[in-house]
Structures are given as C-alpha cells and as structure tokens.
Amino acid sequence: MEHRWDKVLFTGCPRVARVVMAAAVKHLTPVALELGGKCPCIFDAVAGRRNLQTSVNRVIFAKWSSCAGQACIAIDYVLVEERFAPTLIKLLKSTLKRFIADSDQMARIVNGRHFQRLSNLLKDPAVAASILHGGGLDAKNLSIEPTILLNPPLDSAIMTEEIFGPLLPIITVKKIEDSIAFVRARPKPLAVYAFTDSAPLKRRIVEETSSGSVTFNDAVVQFGVDTLPFGGVGQSGFGQYHGKYSFEMFSHKKAVLRRGFLVEAMLRYPPWDEQKIAMMRHLFRYDYVRFIFTFLGLRR
C-alpha cells in the first residue's frame, strides 16, 4: 500500500480492511473490499422427505465440507421455526454422522490463533450449555468437531462475530417470516441463504433484506457462477467481481466525446438576456416546443 496503485482488491476481515483503506487514502487509491460477515440460512419447513434431505445435505456442504466453515460465504447460523427445529436438528445429526465418520475427514483449522479464537467462543458457559452435537477440540491437530448449538445467547461472541469455523448455531423463531426482521436487525451479510418452497417468502427475502447475494435452496454454489456478480454490501464489503464484472471493476470507463464545428448555439455564451434564460429553462425541462417558440420570438 506504500505504492501508487490504480485499484486495490482486499478480501479478509473488517479489522484489516480498515487498515487497507486508511493506507489507500495516501494516494486516493480506490479500494474494493470483500469481507464476508455472518451469512444467515433461513430454513423453512421444506415439503417432501427427499427435498428435506437434499436441503440438509447442502447445509452440511456449505458449513462443514471442504474448509470446515473457514470461508467468507459459509453459512454462519441457521434460522428455523421452533416447531420444525427438532426435525432439522435430528436430520443434521444423522447426516453428519454418515458424511463425516471421524475427525480425519474434517479440514483442520488454519492456524493456532484461529483455533484458540474458535475455542474461546465455546468457553462462555451459556454458549457451552447450548451445544447439542459435537464440541470436541483437539489443539494438537488443530481439529474441531462439527458442532451444533441451539439458541446460544444473541449477545454472545458466537452470535455477534463471524464464526469462520465448524460451529453452527441454530436460532429458533416463532414464524419463519420473523427471520426477515432478525436478518434486517444485523449488519448486512455477504450472502443470505434460504431453503423454502414458499414463493411469497422468497419475494420478501429479496425485497426486504440487503446482502451481497441471495441463494435459494442451495448455498455457497453462487460463488462458482461467473455470470453472477460477487461482492458484499455495507459491512460485508463493496465492489463486485467474477466474470465480466471483474473486467468492469478493474477497468476505467473513460468517456470520450467528439464534436464538429458545423452547429454552434450562441445560447451558451454571454450576454444572457431574458430570452436566453427562458430558452435554457425550457431546455432543462425538456420542453422543446416552448423552446422553439421562444427561439422564434413567439409566445405560446
């Protein structure tokens, strides 16, 4: 950042992003930020056993596979109706046992500092009491068992900071529509995910929430679609890339206007009398008929 760049793209956490932006001020370098955040997953009562199982498979893929939740677009927490929560939790547990038989099949935490950070999230007694599944920690191998929590305190660190790891809080709401207000009351995420068959709920999520992207009935896969712009909004960042959007973001749209000398309107030059002022007023209002009448010295 000591050098003079045309543009800088930073992906990471808000803390470092503030340092990058502060350094960019020296040269007035434009910056694009991709910061992640707490990406919610709204899980409606999906109809049909097959569709429900597929939805659970996709939630597990988006939270625990590949990098154990250490991705900016990973599901951070799930919102579900109270009455449907037991069904979802039971299916998550059974599917996890089938997909991830032992800890060797799980990605490791990237380093000791992040392992300690994630461990600290679980040290809060109220948070530890909400663990329904997993919670095992292996500091030697930097491994954390896939962990499901039910209704940890909303003011706890696990619900106010981006988790970026294999811990999944499940938050219950009275009605699934209440999840919209829950998401709106928090910083704008990089992505909102929703598993639902309800067209009205889908419409409300798109119209009433703000996020970098919205994905229905799947998660994380939007990252691989290069015809969609990828980027955040608000605290989750700004600037969009992928596919043609990368080209546009890193290109300067230079405007070039060319004119000839054949036509010259003296209206733009002083002195300005009442007629010129009236003609300019008509032009600014796109009232071309009155402009012509005034130009010809006629009244309309």
Q: Is the pLDDT at 124 greater than 90, yes or no?
A: yes
For 125-145, the pLDDT digits (tens) are: 999 999 999 999 999 999 999
When pLDDT is averaged across residues 108-131 and rounded to a whole number, the result is 96
Kindly report the average pLDDT of the chain as a whole number.
94
Q: Is the pLDDT at 211 greater than 70, yes or no?
A: yes
Q: Is the pLDDT at 101 greater than 80, yes or no?
A: no
pLDDT band for position 168 (cuts 50, 70, 90): very high
For 14-38, the pLDDT digits (tens) are: 889 999 999 999 999 999 999 988 9
Report d(CA 83, CA 112) in Å as an integer. Answer: 39
The whole-number pLDDT of residue 267 equals 87
Report the range of poorest mean pLDDT among 65-69, 193-197, 238-242. Answer: 65-69
For 44-61, the pLDDT digits (tens) are: 998 899 999 999 999 999
pTM: 0.89
When pLDDT is averaged across residues 1-24 and rounded to a whole number, the result is 93
The whole-number pLDDT of residue 286 equals 93
When pLDDT is averaged across residues 235-264 and rounded to a whole number, the result is 94
Among residues 39, 41, 72, 145, which one is catalytic? 72
Active site residue 72: yes
The secondary element (H helix, E strand) that includes residue 112 is: helix 112-123
Active site residue 34: yes
Among residues 34, 81, 145, 162, which one is catalytic? 34
**Domains along the sequence of the chain with CATH:** 1-35+231-256 (no CATH), 36-224 (3.40.309.10), 266-296 (no CATH)
The whole-number pLDDT of residue 300 equals 59
When pLDDT is averaged across residues 222-227 and rounded to a whole number, the result is 94
pLDDT band for position 243 (cuts 50, 70, 90): very high
The secondary element (H helix, E strand) that includes residue 240 is: none
Q: Is the pLDDT at 76 greater than 90, yes or no?
A: yes
